[in-house]
Structure 1
Amino acid sequence: MEFDGEFELEDVPPEKAWVVLSDPIAVRNSLKGCQYITPMDDDFSYDDYEADEDAETLPDADPEAVAARAFVEGQEYAALMQVGVGSVKPRFETSVTIQERDEEEFIMTATGTGTASGSSFSMDSGMHIHPLEDGEGSRIEWWTEADISGRIAQLGSRVINPVANKIVNNFFSDIEKQMSDVDETDSGITDRIRGML
Protein backbone atom coordinates (compact mmCIF):
# COMPACT_ATOMS: atom_id res chain seq x y z
CA MET A 1 0.00 0.00 0.00
CA GLU A 2 1.25 3.45 -0.86
CA PHE A 3 0.39 6.71 0.85
CA ASP A 4 1.75 10.13 -0.05
CA GLY A 5 0.81 13.76 0.08
CA GLU A 6 1.82 17.33 0.66
CA PHE A 7 1.11 19.76 3.45
CA GLU A 8 1.70 23.52 3.45
CA LEU A 9 2.56 25.66 6.47
CA GLU A 10 2.14 29.26 5.37
CA ASP A 11 4.08 31.06 8.09
CA VAL A 12 6.57 28.41 9.24
CA PRO A 13 9.93 28.41 7.41
CA PRO A 14 11.64 25.06 6.65
CA GLU A 15 14.28 25.54 9.38
CA LYS A 16 11.62 25.68 12.10
CA ALA A 17 9.53 22.88 10.61
CA TRP A 18 12.67 20.70 10.52
CA VAL A 19 13.44 21.24 14.21
CA VAL A 20 9.91 20.32 15.32
CA LEU A 21 9.76 17.24 13.04
CA SER A 22 13.17 16.15 14.40
CA ASP A 23 11.80 15.88 17.95
CA PRO A 24 10.46 12.37 18.80
CA ILE A 25 8.32 13.83 21.61
CA ALA A 26 6.65 16.36 19.28
CA VAL A 27 6.03 13.60 16.73
CA ARG A 28 4.66 11.24 19.41
CA ASN A 29 2.32 13.91 20.75
CA SER A 30 0.91 14.51 17.26
CA LEU A 31 0.39 10.84 16.35
CA LYS A 32 -2.97 9.73 17.67
CA GLY A 33 -2.58 6.46 19.54
CA CYS A 34 1.21 6.70 19.83
CA GLN A 35 2.40 5.99 23.36
CA TYR A 36 6.11 6.53 22.79
CA ILE A 37 8.98 6.82 20.31
CA THR A 38 12.32 6.13 21.94
CA PRO A 39 15.82 4.89 21.04
CA MET A 40 16.08 1.14 21.48
CA ASP A 41 18.85 -1.39 22.02
CA ASP A 42 19.02 -5.20 22.05
CA ASP A 43 17.54 -5.38 25.58
CA PHE A 44 14.55 -3.12 24.87
CA SER A 45 11.14 -4.38 26.10
CA TYR A 46 7.91 -2.86 24.77
CA ASP A 47 6.05 -4.02 27.87
CA ASP A 48 8.53 -2.68 30.43
CA TYR A 49 9.34 0.72 28.92
CA GLU A 50 7.64 3.66 30.63
CA ALA A 51 7.29 6.81 28.55
CA ASP A 52 7.83 10.28 29.99
CA GLU A 53 4.30 11.62 29.64
CA ASP A 54 5.26 15.10 30.85
CA ALA A 55 8.19 15.79 28.52
CA GLU A 56 7.90 19.36 27.26
CA THR A 57 8.08 20.35 23.62
CA LEU A 58 8.96 23.66 22.06
CA PRO A 59 8.51 26.48 22.80
CA ASP A 60 8.49 25.49 26.51
CA ALA A 61 11.17 22.79 26.41
CA ASP A 62 14.85 23.34 27.12
CA PRO A 63 16.53 23.74 23.68
CA GLU A 64 19.44 21.52 24.76
CA ALA A 65 17.04 18.74 25.77
CA VAL A 66 15.26 18.95 22.39
CA ALA A 67 18.60 18.82 20.54
CA ALA A 68 19.81 15.87 22.66
CA ARG A 69 16.76 13.73 21.92
CA ALA A 70 16.47 14.61 18.19
CA PHE A 71 16.29 11.78 15.68
CA VAL A 72 19.73 10.43 14.73
CA GLU A 73 20.68 8.93 11.38
CA GLY A 74 21.29 5.18 11.74
CA GLN A 75 19.54 4.97 15.14
CA GLU A 76 16.79 2.41 15.72
CA TYR A 77 13.70 3.59 17.61
CA ALA A 78 10.87 1.71 19.29
CA ALA A 79 7.38 3.04 18.74
CA LEU A 80 4.23 1.73 20.37
CA MET A 81 0.90 2.64 18.78
CA GLN A 82 -2.65 1.53 19.34
CA VAL A 83 -4.98 2.38 16.46
CA GLY A 84 -8.52 1.32 15.73
CA VAL A 85 -8.78 -0.40 12.33
CA GLY A 86 -12.31 -1.54 11.56
CA SER A 87 -13.55 -3.60 14.48
CA VAL A 88 -10.08 -4.24 15.93
CA LYS A 89 -7.77 -1.97 17.89
CA PRO A 90 -4.34 -3.58 17.45
CA ARG A 91 -1.28 -2.65 19.48
CA PHE A 92 1.57 -2.07 17.02
CA GLU A 93 5.05 -2.81 18.37
CA THR A 94 7.22 -1.09 15.80
CA SER A 95 10.92 -0.60 15.26
CA VAL A 96 11.95 2.29 13.01
CA THR A 97 15.46 3.09 11.76
CA ILE A 98 16.31 6.57 10.53
CA GLN A 99 18.08 5.90 7.23
CA GLU A 100 18.88 9.46 6.20
CA ARG A 101 18.82 12.91 7.80
CA ASP A 102 19.94 15.67 5.47
CA GLU A 103 19.88 18.89 7.48
CA GLU A 104 20.76 21.06 4.48
CA GLU A 105 18.04 19.76 2.14
CA PHE A 106 15.55 18.95 4.97
CA ILE A 107 15.11 15.32 3.94
CA MET A 108 14.51 12.47 6.39
CA THR A 109 13.82 8.84 5.46
CA ALA A 110 13.11 5.80 7.61
CA THR A 111 12.37 2.10 7.39
CA GLY A 112 10.42 0.09 9.89
CA THR A 113 8.78 -3.20 10.79
CA GLY A 114 6.14 -4.09 13.29
CA THR A 115 3.70 -6.65 14.60
CA ALA A 116 0.18 -6.49 16.00
CA SER A 117 -2.47 -9.10 16.82
CA GLY A 118 -1.65 -11.71 14.23
CA SER A 119 -0.47 -9.15 11.69
CA SER A 120 2.85 -7.73 10.58
CA PHE A 121 4.03 -4.91 8.37
CA SER A 122 7.12 -3.32 6.90
CA MET A 123 7.43 0.22 5.61
CA ASP A 124 9.64 2.76 3.91
CA SER A 125 8.79 6.38 4.51
CA GLY A 126 10.20 9.84 4.21
CA MET A 127 9.63 13.55 4.06
CA HIS A 128 11.15 16.50 2.26
CA ILE A 129 10.54 20.06 3.47
CA HIS A 130 10.61 22.68 0.70
CA PRO A 131 10.44 26.47 1.06
CA LEU A 132 7.28 28.00 -0.37
CA GLU A 133 8.06 29.99 -3.49
CA ASP A 134 5.88 32.94 -2.54
CA GLY A 135 6.39 33.51 1.16
CA GLU A 136 8.03 32.44 4.38
CA GLY A 137 6.33 29.10 4.71
CA SER A 138 7.06 25.43 4.00
CA ARG A 139 5.69 22.67 1.82
CA ILE A 140 6.14 19.24 3.38
CA GLU A 141 6.16 16.36 0.92
CA TRP A 142 5.73 12.94 2.60
CA TRP A 143 5.42 9.35 1.46
CA THR A 144 5.04 5.86 2.91
CA GLU A 145 5.06 2.48 1.25
CA ALA A 146 3.81 -0.31 3.50
CA ASP A 147 3.42 -4.06 3.14
CA ILE A 148 0.81 -5.42 5.54
CA SER A 149 0.03 -9.08 6.14
CA GLY A 150 -2.22 -11.04 8.46
CA ARG A 151 -5.57 -10.13 9.98
CA ILE A 152 -5.31 -6.40 9.36
CA ALA A 153 -4.47 -6.90 5.68
CA GLN A 154 -7.65 -8.97 5.33
CA LEU A 155 -9.69 -5.87 6.18
CA GLY A 156 -8.63 -4.40 2.84
CA SER A 157 -7.76 -0.94 1.63
CA ARG A 158 -11.35 0.32 1.96
CA VAL A 159 -11.00 0.00 5.75
CA ILE A 160 -7.27 0.73 6.11
CA ASN A 161 -6.96 3.81 3.85
CA PRO A 162 -9.48 6.03 5.71
CA VAL A 163 -7.79 5.18 9.02
CA ALA A 164 -4.34 5.99 7.61
CA ASN A 165 -5.60 9.25 6.06
CA LYS A 166 -7.22 10.31 9.33
CA ILE A 167 -4.01 9.65 11.27
CA VAL A 168 -1.97 11.65 8.74
CA ASN A 169 -4.40 14.58 8.64
CA ASN A 170 -4.59 14.73 12.45
CA PHE A 171 -0.79 14.51 12.64
CA PHE A 172 -0.13 17.43 10.32
CA SER A 173 -2.90 19.52 11.85
CA ASP A 174 -1.39 19.02 15.32
CA ILE A 175 2.19 19.52 14.08
CA GLU A 176 1.13 22.77 12.40
CA LYS A 177 -0.25 24.03 15.72
CA GLN A 178 3.00 23.12 17.48
CA MET A 179 5.03 24.86 14.78
CA SER A 180 2.84 27.96 14.92
CA ASP A 181 3.28 28.09 18.71
CA VAL A 182 7.06 27.89 18.23
CA ASP A 183 6.97 30.51 15.49
CA GLU A 184 5.03 32.97 17.67
CA THR A 185 7.41 32.75 20.63
CA ASP A 186 10.69 31.91 18.88
CA SER A 187 13.58 34.21 19.66
CA GLY A 188 16.30 32.24 17.93
CA ILE A 189 15.48 28.95 19.74
CA THR A 190 15.20 26.88 16.57
CA ASP A 191 18.43 28.34 15.18
CA ARG A 192 20.20 27.41 18.43
CA ILE A 193 18.82 23.86 18.27
CA ARG A 194 19.83 23.46 14.61
CA GLY A 195 23.33 24.51 15.63
CA MET A 196 23.37 21.72 18.24
CA LEU A 197 22.00 18.99 15.96
Structure 2
Amino acid sequence: MEFSDTFEIADTTREEAWLALSDPVMIKEALPGCQFLVRVDDEDVDFDELREQVSDDDPPTLPEADTEEIAERAFEEGAHYAALMEIGVGSVKPSFETVVTITEREFGHMSAEGEGEASNSSFELEAGMQLEETENGVAVDWQAQTDVFGRVAQMGQRVINPVANRVVNRFFGNIEDQLRDVETDDSSGITDKIRDML
Protein backbone atom coordinates (compact mmCIF):
# COMPACT_ATOMS: atom_id res chain seq x y z
CA MET A 1 0.00 0.00 0.00
CA GLU A 2 1.18 3.49 -0.79
CA PHE A 3 0.26 6.67 1.04
CA SER A 4 1.29 10.26 0.33
CA ASP A 5 0.03 13.71 1.18
CA THR A 6 1.06 17.25 2.04
CA PHE A 7 0.34 18.69 5.46
CA GLU A 8 0.53 22.45 6.01
CA ILE A 9 1.85 23.66 9.37
CA ALA A 10 0.85 27.30 9.68
CA ASP A 11 2.80 30.12 11.31
CA THR A 12 6.07 28.27 11.79
CA THR A 13 9.49 28.21 10.18
CA ARG A 14 11.21 25.37 8.37
CA GLU A 15 13.81 25.26 11.16
CA GLU A 16 11.18 24.92 13.91
CA ALA A 17 9.27 22.24 12.01
CA TRP A 18 12.52 20.36 11.34
CA LEU A 19 13.50 20.46 15.01
CA ALA A 20 10.06 19.21 16.07
CA LEU A 21 9.96 16.39 13.51
CA SER A 22 13.52 15.36 14.43
CA ASP A 23 12.71 15.02 18.15
CA PRO A 24 11.86 11.43 19.21
CA VAL A 25 10.15 12.74 22.35
CA MET A 26 7.84 15.06 20.42
CA ILE A 27 7.13 12.35 17.85
CA LYS A 28 6.17 9.93 20.63
CA GLU A 29 3.85 12.49 22.22
CA ALA A 30 2.24 13.45 18.90
CA LEU A 31 1.80 9.95 17.46
CA PRO A 32 -1.54 8.40 18.49
CA GLY A 33 -1.09 5.05 20.21
CA CYS A 34 2.69 5.36 20.67
CA GLN A 35 3.58 3.98 24.11
CA PHE A 36 7.30 4.64 23.79
CA LEU A 37 9.94 5.58 21.21
CA VAL A 38 13.57 5.13 22.21
CA ARG A 39 16.95 4.76 20.55
CA VAL A 40 18.38 1.23 20.61
CA ASP A 41 21.80 -0.20 19.75
CA ASP A 42 20.65 -2.51 16.97
CA GLU A 43 17.60 -4.02 15.30
CA ASP A 44 17.47 -7.02 17.65
CA VAL A 45 15.34 -5.60 20.47
CA ASP A 46 14.06 -7.23 23.67
CA PHE A 47 10.72 -5.43 24.02
CA ASP A 48 9.91 -7.03 27.39
CA GLU A 49 13.12 -5.56 28.79
CA LEU A 50 12.42 -2.20 27.14
CA ARG A 51 8.94 -2.02 28.70
CA GLU A 52 10.53 -2.27 32.15
CA GLN A 53 13.27 0.28 31.42
CA VAL A 54 11.27 3.01 29.72
CA SER A 55 10.24 5.88 31.97
CA ASP A 56 6.76 7.40 31.86
CA ASP A 57 8.29 10.83 32.45
CA ASP A 58 9.30 12.35 29.13
CA PRO A 59 11.72 15.28 29.01
CA PRO A 60 10.22 18.61 27.88
CA THR A 61 9.68 19.44 24.21
CA LEU A 62 9.21 22.76 22.43
CA PRO A 63 8.56 25.41 23.61
CA GLU A 64 9.88 24.51 27.10
CA ALA A 65 12.90 22.47 26.03
CA ASP A 66 16.20 24.04 25.12
CA THR A 67 16.91 23.71 21.39
CA GLU A 68 20.38 22.29 22.09
CA GLU A 69 18.88 19.50 24.25
CA ILE A 70 16.50 18.58 21.44
CA ALA A 71 19.33 18.65 18.88
CA GLU A 72 21.36 16.23 21.06
CA ARG A 73 18.56 13.65 21.19
CA ALA A 74 17.41 14.20 17.58
CA PHE A 75 17.10 11.32 15.14
CA GLU A 76 20.42 10.34 13.57
CA GLU A 77 21.08 8.82 10.17
CA GLY A 78 21.85 5.12 10.53
CA ALA A 79 20.47 4.92 14.08
CA HIS A 80 17.79 2.45 15.19
CA TYR A 81 14.69 3.30 17.24
CA ALA A 82 12.21 1.00 18.97
CA ALA A 83 8.56 1.91 19.41
CA LEU A 84 5.50 0.22 20.84
CA MET A 85 2.49 1.23 18.75
CA GLU A 86 -1.10 0.44 19.76
CA ILE A 87 -3.43 1.00 16.82
CA GLY A 88 -7.10 0.11 16.59
CA VAL A 89 -7.93 -1.43 13.20
CA GLY A 90 -11.52 -2.53 12.85
CA SER A 91 -12.37 -4.81 15.76
CA VAL A 92 -8.75 -5.46 16.78
CA LYS A 93 -6.23 -3.28 18.62
CA PRO A 94 -2.80 -4.85 18.10
CA SER A 95 0.33 -3.59 19.88
CA PHE A 96 3.06 -3.49 17.26
CA GLU A 97 6.63 -3.94 18.47
CA THR A 98 8.35 -1.75 15.91
CA VAL A 99 11.98 -1.09 14.98
CA VAL A 100 12.79 1.80 12.64
CA THR A 101 16.12 2.80 11.07
CA ILE A 102 16.74 6.36 9.88
CA THR A 103 18.15 5.82 6.39
CA GLU A 104 18.65 9.49 5.41
CA ARG A 105 18.62 12.71 7.40
CA GLU A 106 19.68 16.06 6.03
CA PHE A 107 18.07 19.39 6.88
CA GLY A 108 14.61 19.45 5.34
CA HIS A 109 14.59 15.77 4.34
CA MET A 110 14.37 12.52 6.29
CA SER A 111 13.59 8.92 5.35
CA ALA A 112 13.27 5.72 7.35
CA GLU A 113 12.50 2.05 7.03
CA GLY A 114 11.21 -0.38 9.59
CA GLU A 115 9.04 -3.28 10.52
CA GLY A 116 6.60 -4.12 13.27
CA GLU A 117 5.09 -7.27 14.73
CA ALA A 118 2.01 -7.97 16.80
CA SER A 119 0.13 -11.18 17.49
CA ASN A 120 -1.10 -12.48 14.13
CA SER A 121 -0.07 -9.31 12.23
CA SER A 122 3.06 -7.59 10.96
CA PHE A 123 4.12 -4.81 8.62
CA GLU A 124 7.12 -3.47 6.71
CA LEU A 125 7.48 0.24 6.03
CA GLU A 126 9.51 2.73 4.01
CA ALA A 127 8.71 6.40 4.58
CA GLY A 128 10.08 9.83 3.84
CA MET A 129 9.31 13.51 4.24
CA GLN A 130 10.47 16.83 2.82
CA LEU A 131 9.87 20.29 4.29
CA GLU A 132 9.20 23.29 2.08
CA GLU A 133 8.73 26.88 3.24
CA THR A 134 5.40 28.41 2.16
CA GLU A 135 3.77 31.83 2.43
CA ASN A 136 1.88 30.80 5.57
CA GLY A 137 4.32 28.39 7.19
CA VAL A 138 5.74 25.02 6.18
CA ALA A 139 4.50 22.25 3.88
CA VAL A 140 5.42 18.72 4.90
CA ASP A 141 5.37 16.42 1.85
CA TRP A 142 5.34 12.86 3.14
CA GLN A 143 5.08 9.45 1.54
CA ALA A 144 5.02 5.90 2.84
CA GLN A 145 4.99 2.45 1.32
CA THR A 146 3.78 -0.36 3.56
CA ASP A 147 3.27 -4.08 3.27
CA VAL A 148 0.85 -5.48 5.85
CA PHE A 149 0.55 -9.17 6.70
CA GLY A 150 -1.67 -11.40 8.82
CA ARG A 151 -4.97 -10.58 10.47
CA VAL A 152 -4.83 -6.83 9.84
CA ALA A 153 -4.04 -7.40 6.14
CA GLN A 154 -7.15 -9.58 5.82
CA MET A 155 -9.30 -6.55 6.66
CA GLY A 156 -8.30 -4.92 3.37
CA GLN A 157 -7.51 -1.39 2.29
CA ARG A 158 -11.06 -0.14 2.84
CA VAL A 159 -10.54 -0.65 6.58
CA ILE A 160 -6.81 0.12 6.80
CA ASN A 161 -6.71 3.36 4.75
CA PRO A 162 -9.13 5.39 6.93
CA VAL A 163 -7.23 4.29 10.06
CA ALA A 164 -3.87 5.28 8.53
CA ASN A 165 -5.24 8.66 7.40
CA ARG A 166 -6.74 9.32 10.84
CA VAL A 167 -3.44 8.53 12.59
CA VAL A 168 -1.43 10.74 10.19
CA ASN A 169 -3.85 13.68 10.44
CA ARG A 170 -3.92 13.52 14.24
CA PHE A 171 -0.12 13.27 14.31
CA PHE A 172 0.46 16.37 12.18
CA GLY A 173 -2.33 18.21 14.01
CA ASN A 174 -0.59 17.48 17.32
CA ILE A 175 2.75 18.67 15.91
CA GLU A 176 1.09 21.88 14.72
CA ASP A 177 -0.44 22.41 18.18
CA GLN A 178 2.97 21.98 19.80
CA LEU A 179 4.57 24.46 17.42
CA ARG A 180 1.74 26.93 17.97
CA ASP A 181 2.77 27.00 21.64
CA VAL A 182 6.12 28.50 20.66
CA GLU A 183 5.59 32.14 21.59
CA THR A 184 5.77 34.56 18.68
CA ASP A 185 8.28 36.63 20.63
CA ASP A 186 10.55 33.61 21.01
CA SER A 187 10.11 32.27 17.49
CA SER A 188 12.83 34.28 15.77
CA GLY A 189 15.26 33.51 18.60
CA ILE A 190 14.56 29.78 18.38
CA THR A 191 14.89 29.88 14.59
CA ASP A 192 18.25 31.67 14.84
CA LYS A 193 19.52 29.12 17.39
CA ILE A 194 18.48 26.23 15.16
CA ARG A 195 20.13 27.83 12.11
CA ASP A 196 23.36 28.14 14.10
CA MET A 197 23.26 24.40 14.85
CA LEU A 198 22.63 23.29 11.24
Q: Is the shorter-chain TM-score for this pair beyond 0.5, marking a shared fold?
A: yes
Moved more, 180-189 or 148-157: 180-189
SS at 1:48 equivalent: helix
1:91 aligns with 2:92: no
**How many aligned positions are there?**
193
User: What's the CA shift string for 1:68-121, capped at 9, x where partnerless?
Assistant: 110000101101111111111100011100011111xx0100001111111111
Give the unaligned 5+ runs of structure 1.
none
Paired residue for 2:132? 130
Query: Amino acid of the residue matched to residue 130 of structure 1?
Result: E
C-alpha contact 1:99 1:109 (8 A) present in aligned 2: yes
Question: 1:1-197 maps to which residues of 2 (within 5 A)?
Answer: 1-42=1-42, 44-49=45-50, 50-103=54-107, 106-132=108-134, 135-182=135-182, 184=184, 185-186=186-187, 188-196=189-197
For the aligned residues, what is the CA RMSD? Answer: 1.7
SS at the partner of 2:3?
strand
Identical-residue share of aligned pairs (%): 52
Alpha-carbon distance in structure 1 between the residues aligned to 2:83 and 2:161: 21
Q: Which runs of 5+ in 2 are unaligned?
A: none
Match of 1:143, SS state, is: strand
Query: Which stretch of the first structure deviates more once superposed, 142-151 or 184-193?
Result: 184-193
TM-score normalised to structure 1 length: 0.91
d(CA) in 2 for partners of 1:64 and 1:44?
28
User: TM-score by structure 2 length?
Assistant: 0.91
Q: How far does residue 14 in structure 1 lie from its aligned partner after superposition?
A: 1.1
Is the contact made by 2:104 and 2:110 (CA closer than 8 Å) also made in structure 1? yes
- What SS is found at the alignment partner of 2:78? coil
Q: Is the 8 A contact 1:13 1:136 kept in 2?
A: no
Q: Distance in 2 between matches of 1:83 and 1:153?
A: 14
Q: Which runs of 4+ in 1 moved over 4 A?
A: none
Contact 2:25 2:37 in 1 (8 A): yes
